[in-house]
Every structure is written in C-alpha cells, then in structure tokens.
C-alpha cells in the first residue's frame, strides 16, 4: 500500500536508516493509516539507543526536548517544528506503580518491541518503503473490527491497568467489538490517578460509538473501579462511576420508552454531538431514575420517575467534582441535566412558557452574557433532541421529534437575540447615553442601562438601538416633567 507520511516523519526515518539503524512508524498511526484515517501524531521506534539518537540529532542540528522520559528510552526530536517521539526497542516490567514500569531494558528486535504493546491493532510497524510488519494479527483484527490484546489479556492489563480503560475508549473510537474474557480484574485500578482515568473517560465519551465503549465499560466491571486522588502529599481513593450500575435492566414506562434506562442512555449519548459537556450531560441525565423517593408507579401502574432531573443534577455535581472537573464545566453539565425535562410538558399541554423560562435563566446569575446563555440553550436543545430520539425508534417518533425541534428552536432564538443577560449585551452603550443626559445626570447612566435591560428582558422593549434610545429619551422627559410639577 502507498502511505503518505508527512515529510518530517520521512526525514527522521531516512536519517536513522542512512546511519545504519532500523526505524519504523509504530502504534496508533499505523492503525489509523490502514483504516484510511489521518493520524493525530506519529511515533517512531528504532534499534538505535537514546544516546545514538541524540548524537544524530546534534549532528543534524535538530532540537530535542531535554530529559524527556530518558529512563524509558524515548527521545523527543523536533523536526520541521513538529515534536516526534523516537523510542528505542525495549521490554518492560511493571511493579506496584501502574503509571511507570519498574524495570525497562533495551532489546534488539522489532518483534520483541511490538510484543509488549497493548492491542494487536496497535502492535504494527511501518517502514519508509511502506511495508507493514504485523506479528500479532493486527491487520486481520482491523478487517474483522475486533479489539484484542497482544497475548493474554490478564498479563497485559496486569502490566498497566489503564489499558482496561483504553480498551473501552478504543472500542468507542473505532466502533469495534471487544474479543476477550469479561469481566476484567479491576483491583489494580486503584493505583491509577484520577487524571489519567478522566482523560480516558473523556476520549471515550466524545468518540463516534461512545455507547458501544460504555457497554464494555459496564460489562467489564470498570463501573466498580476506584482510582487515586493525590494532593498536598496525601492520597485518597474515589469510585469512578458506580452510580451507573443500577440503570442496567431498569424498566421504564412502555408508553414512552422502548429501552431500559441504561440502553436509553447509551442511545441518547450516541444521538448527541461529540461535545464533552453535552455527552457528560447525556450520560448522567437519567442517573437518578429508579432510586428510592424517585421511582414510583403512576396511576396506570407504569414506572414513573417524577423529579428525577433535579436529583440527577445533584448526583452529576457530586460525580464530576469527585473526578476533578473544573467549576465552569461542572456548572454547565449540571444545568443541562437539571433542565433537560423542561420542554416535555410544553409538548403535551401546548402551554409555552418560553420567555418566562429564558428570562428566569437570564436574571438568575448563572450566565454572564447573552452569548453564554444562548450557547447553553443551544446545547440544551441537543440534549433534549438526543433524549427524545432515544425513546421510541422509527417513524412513530418523527412527528414528536419535529415538534420538539421547533420548540427548541424557539427557545434558542429567544436566548440568542432577545434576552440580554448583562447591560453589555444591549445594543446601546453608556457613551451613547451620555449624549442624552445633562452633565449633572452622568451618574444616572448605569441606572438607565439597568432600566433598559429589565425592559428588554420583560419583553416590553426590543433590543434595538433606536428603540432603546427612544425609551431613554421618554424616561428623561417624564422625569423632567415630574421635577417641574414638583417645583
């Protein structure tokens, strides 16, 4: 096959080959090239020792990143402004710490180096001539769309527990099935840092087949896993996502749902855009369903979870804080979860309370600008439609989805152009109002801006410059008349 490698990669391969060393592109880049994808980065493996790579770099006047993973035989070269890891063939043995090998040794054969890697589809190499080296059936597994470990899974996962999370992530990213014994032995996961676990979860959630990867996350037992939180010289352990467990096989009202809560969640997730906060909101939007105090039978005897969105939002906040997400991110996800049911009653009753709803959000202190408010409602629309699309599949759902889409578009239009959050969102500025007031009234400009903001939010005044200026003039005239009358 004819693979188009970037020039900076070809130059490094050629440099090593010209000086008598073997050199190959290795790992995920080879996998992606075989799948017809553009690799995000390129790693190179070679039989040259790190000191030999560094010597060549000095001879060629290439920049290197000093002291980067030298214990692991890795040299970072900067070629054409792009950093590329060049790693010496090696073997490794893991001990207590799952983040780094307890022992690393150099080896002389490519086959030995590829044999230490995690999955067969990541254990292939490509030389400068375009020849593939595959000792573990990686190409066949790519064709079969199967993810399989190199050698015995227990050994691979025992070496590095993060590989269990990578398995789920790769299943989601590649839309592959997993071949291997389940569940995993997750006991070693306690040594993984919450940062590394969070990174893998994020990559999984925004993958093309996130639902498939999360099925493996559940079936593998990783839902039970714990990880390590370190800070100020102390370590503690926190669970990752055990709150998901009770959603499996949890029934829903068959009048509205064809899936149990877990399957519904996975379908909703795949329906949504590949945006991290939206995907987290979809994962957690129904997490309180089935819990005591939330799950009750309705008049028809069907399961009902009235108020689950508020409880789900509370749980989402706890989960995301536990996993170390930032305050702004948590605030957005929690808001999306708490509001995801707001459209539904309007679809059934026909009573639209959109302006009141948007005004409440605009004045509630949650958002700092109209742009932020509009962005939140755009995301809420995506959550709402993804949720609805995962209830009844097929033709039956289309009319309701279209009604929901129209309703969501209305609320987005309100938030986007008719509901300023801050006086800075108004179509007039303080400097323009200064031209309308007398010198002794300059201090009133802030009061006038807040007056305009309240009227626009209430819907009694459009956010248009001419209308806003006219409203100020009338108010000033009215105040002047009142002062004259008082005199």
pLDDT at 397: 67
Give the CA radius of gyration of the chain.
29
Q: Is 178 exposed, middle or buried (0-12, 13-18, 19+ CB in 10 A)?
A: buried
pLDDT at 233: 86
Q: Quick one: pLDDT band at residue 345, thresholds 50, 70, 90?
A: confident
Residue in 261, 181, 275 with CA at minimum distance from that of residue 221: 181
Question: Residues 246, 315: contact at Cβ < 8 Å?
Answer: no
Cis peptide before 183 (omega within 30 of 0): yes
Q: Mind listing the pLDDT tens digit for each residue in 237-253?
A: 999 999 999 999 999 99
Other Cβ atoms within 10 Å of 382 Cβ, number: 20
Using alpha carbons only, what angle is made at residue 157 by residues 102 and 233, rounded to the nearest 5 degrees? 50
Question: Residues 123, 150: contact at Cβ < 8 Å?
Answer: yes
Which range, 324-328, 351-355, 454-458, has the best average confidence (pLDDT)? 324-328
Q: Which residue has the tokens 């992530």?
A: 169
pLDDT at 66: 64
Least confident of 49-53, 180-184, 196-200, 479-483: 479-483
Q: How far apart are CA 348 and CA 124, in angstroms?
A: 56
pLDDT at 3: 86
Q: How far apart are CA 4 and CA 192, in angstroms?
A: 37
Q: Is the pLDDT of residue 67 over 80?
A: no
State whether residue 46 is helix, strand or coil. strand
Question: Residues 295, 239: contact at Cβ < 8 Å?
Answer: no
pLDDT at 69: 47
pLDDT at 97: 67
Two tokens, residue 167: 């398995």
Two tokens, residue 441: 């009234």
Q: Mind listing the pLDDT tens digit for each residue in 98-130?
A: 556 677 789 999 999 999 999 999 999 999 999
Q: How far apart are CA 406 and CA 388, in angstroms?
A: 13
φ, ψ dihedrals at 207, nearest 5°? -80, 165
Q: What residues pair up with 231 in beta bridges, in sequence order?
A: 234
pLDDT at 73: 84
> What DSSP letter does each residue of 433-474 carry, written as one string?
HHTTS-GGGGGGHHHHHHHHHHHHHHTSS-S-HHHHHHHHHH
Q: Is the pLDDT of residue 398 over 70?
A: yes
Helical spans, DSSP H, in 116-225:
138-144, 153-159, 162-174, 194-205, 210-219
Residue in 279, 259, 284 with CA at minimum distance from that of residue 269: 279
Q: How far apart are CA 343 and CA 407, in angstroms?
A: 8
pLDDT at 47: 97
Mean pLDDT in the chain?
A: 92
> What DSSP letter does each residue of 258-308 carry, written as one string?
SS-HHHHHHHHHHHS-S-HHHHHHHHHTTTTTTSTTT-EE-TTS-EE-TTH
Q: How far apart are CA 389 and CA 391, in angstroms?
A: 6
> What DSSP letter does each residue of 334-375 carry, written as one string?
HHHHHHTTSHHHHHHH----HHHHHHHHHHTTS-SSHHHHHH
Q: Mind listing the pLDDT tens digit for each residue in 400-448?
A: 888 889 999 999 999 988 899 999 999 999 999 998 988 888 888 999 9
pLDDT at 268: 96
Q: Is the pLDDT of residue 211 over 70?
A: yes
Percent of the chain with pLDDT over 70: 95
**Tally of residues, the chain:** 487
Q: Quick one: pLDDT band at residue 71, thresholds 50, 70, 90?
A: low
* CA atoms 266, 268, 271, 275: torsion sign: negative
Q: How far apart are CA 168 and CA 166, in angstroms?
A: 5
* CA atoms 61, 65, 71, 74: torsion sign: negative
Other Cβ atoms within 10 Å of 405 Cβ, number: 14
Two tokens, residue 54: 């560094």
Cα distances from 420 to residues 290, 298, 352, 415, in angstroms, run 39, 40, 20, 8
Percent of the chain with pLDDT over 90: 80
Q: How far apart are CA 207 and CA 213, in angstroms?
A: 9
């Amino acid at each position: 096959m004819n693979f188009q490698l970037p020039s900076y990669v070809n130059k490094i391969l050629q440099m090593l080959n010209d000086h008598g060393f073997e050199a190959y592109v290795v790992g995920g880049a080879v996998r992606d090239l075989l799948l017809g994808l553009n690799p995000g980065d390129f790693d190179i493996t070679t039989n040259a020792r790190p000191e030999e790579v560094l010597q060549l770099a000095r001879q060629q006047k290439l920049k290197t990143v000093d002291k980067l993973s030298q214990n692991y035989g890795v040299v970072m070269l900067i070629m054409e402004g792009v950093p590329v890891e060049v790693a010496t063939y090696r073997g490794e043995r893991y001990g207590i710490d799952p983040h780094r090998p307890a022992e690393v040794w150099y080896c002389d054969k490519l086959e030995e180096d590829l044999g230490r890697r995690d999955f067969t589809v990541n254990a292939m190499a490509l030389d400068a001539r375009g020849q593939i080296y595959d000792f573990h059936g990686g190409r066949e597994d790519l064709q079969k769309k199967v993810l399989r470990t190199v050698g015995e899974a227990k050994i691979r996962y025992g070496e590095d527990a993060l590989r269990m999370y990578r398995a789920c992530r790769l299943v989601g990213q590649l839309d592959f099935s997993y071949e291997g014994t389940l569940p995993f032995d997750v006991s070693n996961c306690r040594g993984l840092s919450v940062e590394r676990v969070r990174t893998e979860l994020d990559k999984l959630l925004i993958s093309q087949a996130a639902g498939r990867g999360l099925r493996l996350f559940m079936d593998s037992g990783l839902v039970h896993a714990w990880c390590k939180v370190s800070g100020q010289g102390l370590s503690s352990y926190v669970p990752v996502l055990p709150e998901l467990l009770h959603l499996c096989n949890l029934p829903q009202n068959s009048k509205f749902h064809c899936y149990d809560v877990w399957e519904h969640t996975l379908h909703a997730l795949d329906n949504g855009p590949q945006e991290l906060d939206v995907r987290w909101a979809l994962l957690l939007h129904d997490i309180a369903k089935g819990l005591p105090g939330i799950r009750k039978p309705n008049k028809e005897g069907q399961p009902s979870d009235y108020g689950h969105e508020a409880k789900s939002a509370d749980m989402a906040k706890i989960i995301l804080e536990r996993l170390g997400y930032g305050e702004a991110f948590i605030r957005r996800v929690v808001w999306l979860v708490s509001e995801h049911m707001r459209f539904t009653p309007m679809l059934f009753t026909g009573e639209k309370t959109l302006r009141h709803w948007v005004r409440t959000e605009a004045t509630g202190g949650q958002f700092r600008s109209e742009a932020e408010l509009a962005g939140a409602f755009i995301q809420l629309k995506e959550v709402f439609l993804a949720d609805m699309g995962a209830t009844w599949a097929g033709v039956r759902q289309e009319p309701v989805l279209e009604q929901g889409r129209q309703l969501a578009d209305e609320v987005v239009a309100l938030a986007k152009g008719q509901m300023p959050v801050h006086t800075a969102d108004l179509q007039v500025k303080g400097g323009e109002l200064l031209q309308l007031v007398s010198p002794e009234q300059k201090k009133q400009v802030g009061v006038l801006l807040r007056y305009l903001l309240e009227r626009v939010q209430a819907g009694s005044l459009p956010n248009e410059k001419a209308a806003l200026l006219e409203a100020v003039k009338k108010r000033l005239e009215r105040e002047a008349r009142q002062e004259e009358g008082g005199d």
